[in-house]
């Protein structure tokens, strides 16, 4: 896939394409930004652009105004499959870290001309997992980079890299991918139903990976549970009954196979769905454009809830859901969190 086909990050793609076209690409770059926004994909597209056997003419009006990778030649396909001899991808091993021997092997190889491509590209994915000795080994190479090699450090946690490494490598900061582009990716590349795609994209915080987690049938189920809870809590002042609704929210029916971790994930999925419903309620309550609703298919149902959820209540509810999700990701008990939330919304 060429840089031109990637969604989002247009300024970064333009910058990289221009640098390649002018033969001014730095020998080392840090690609940083939130998880799941496509940093590794951009690194691979760059590797394709550097080694494609049949560069295509720039697309008129496209974001990449320079010859781009074709995405279909032998080199492009081998790079996409991770088997191109000159494009080395180094990831954390079973220990969770990238050890010095992996770096040494790549660095030794990088000293020679590429075998078949034009440029050797070494991609460190989760580069923050490079152990310090490995970073130091890399540093020596970065000080005198071999002319035909490019090192790409992909990480969402650049602060964990040694300052000496960071000072050698310009940083490209990725932001989140816009909601409509995430929805488009889900529909066109992953065949998710358009309604579910939009709902999942809206709750994904700019992360394609997170949207994919939620863009499945699981998400639709989670949204149904969330909608039931919202209806129950709408006009229910009785704390005891509110807690029952909370129990229902947390109540992933445990089969013998389902673990505590699965229950936690189910609850997080339901809460994310609940968050999108509360955000939509704010839009509807404020008389906003219904085309902006993440759950546009539930517009009628949301309107029915309006008398119970004014902007303030929806806003407070949304903030509570965010807190609840944060607590769950930090290992709080799903039951405690669900109880607390049922009393807040």
Q: Tell me which residues touch Zn ion (CB under 5 A).
A: 52, 69-70, 73, 76
CB closer to Zn ion out of 47 and 250: 47
Nearest to 104 by CA among 127, 129, 138: 138
CB closer to Zn ion out of 70 and 283: 70
Burial of 56 from C-beta contacts in 10 A (0-12 / 13-18 / 19+): middle
Alpha-helical (H) ranges within 150-255 are 163-168, 179-190, 194-202, 208-214, 217-234, 239-250
CB of 90 to Zn ion, least distance (A): 23
CB of 58 to Zn ion, least distance (A): 15
CB closer to Zn ion out of 66 and 174: 66
Backbone angles phi, psi at 162, to 5 degrees: -60, 145
CB of 24 to Zn ion, least distance (A): 21
Burial 328-340 (b: 16+ CB within 10 A, else e): beeeeebeebbbb
Half-sphere exposure of 182 (CA within 13 A, CB side): 30
CB closer to Zn ion out of 119 and 210: 119
Q: CB of 186 within 8 A of CB of 207? A: no
Q: Measured between alpha carbons, how far apart are the two ends of the chain, in Å?
A: 45
CB closer to Zn ion out of 36 and 117: 117
CB of 44 to Zn ion, least distance (A): 12
CB of 85 to Zn ion, least distance (A): 15
């Amino acid at each position: 896939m060429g840089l031109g086909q990637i969604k989002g990050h247009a300024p970064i793609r333009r910058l990289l394409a221009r640098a390649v076209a002018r033969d001014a690409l730095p020998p080392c770059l840090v690609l940083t930004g939130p998880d799941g926004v496509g940093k590794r994909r951009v690194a691979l597209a760059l590797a394709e652009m550097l080694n494609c056997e049949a560069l295509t003419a720039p697309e008129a009006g496209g974001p990449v105004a320079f010859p781009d990778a074709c995405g279909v030649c032998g080199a492009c396909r081998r790079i996409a499959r991770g088997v191109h001899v000159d494009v080395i991808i180094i990831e954390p091993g079973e220990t969770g870290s990238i050890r010095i021997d992996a770096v040494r092997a790549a660095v030794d190889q990088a000293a020679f001309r590429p075998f078949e491509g034009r440029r050797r590209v070494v991609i460190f994915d989760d580069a923050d997992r490079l152990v310090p000795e490995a970073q130091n080994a890399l540093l020596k190479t970065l000080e005198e980079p071999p002319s035909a090699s490019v090192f790409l450090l992909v990480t969402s946690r650049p602060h964990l890299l040694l300052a000496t490494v960071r000072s050698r490598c310009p940083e490209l900061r990725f932001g989140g991918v816009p909601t409509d582009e995430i929805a488009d990716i889900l529909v066109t590349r992953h065949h998710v139903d358009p309604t579910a795609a939009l709902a999942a994209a809206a709750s994904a915080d700019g992360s394609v990976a997170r949207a994919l987690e939620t863009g499945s049938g699981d998400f639709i189920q989670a949204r149904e549970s969330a909608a039931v809870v919202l209806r129950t809590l709408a006009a229910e002042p009785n704390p005891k009954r509110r807690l029952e609704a909370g129990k229902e929210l947390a109540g992933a029916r445990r089969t013998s196979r389902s673990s505590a971790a699965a229950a936690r994930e189910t609850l997080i999925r339901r809460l994310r769905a609940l968050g999108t419903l509360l955000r939509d309620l704010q839009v509807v309550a404020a008389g906003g454009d219904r085309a902006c609703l993440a759950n546009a298919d539930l517009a009628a149902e949301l309107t029915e809830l309006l008398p119970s959820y004014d902007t303030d209540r929806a806003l407070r509810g949304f903030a509570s859901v965010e807190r609840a999700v944060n607590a769950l990701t930090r290992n709080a008990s799903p039951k405690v969190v669900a109880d607390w939330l049922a009393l807040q919304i």
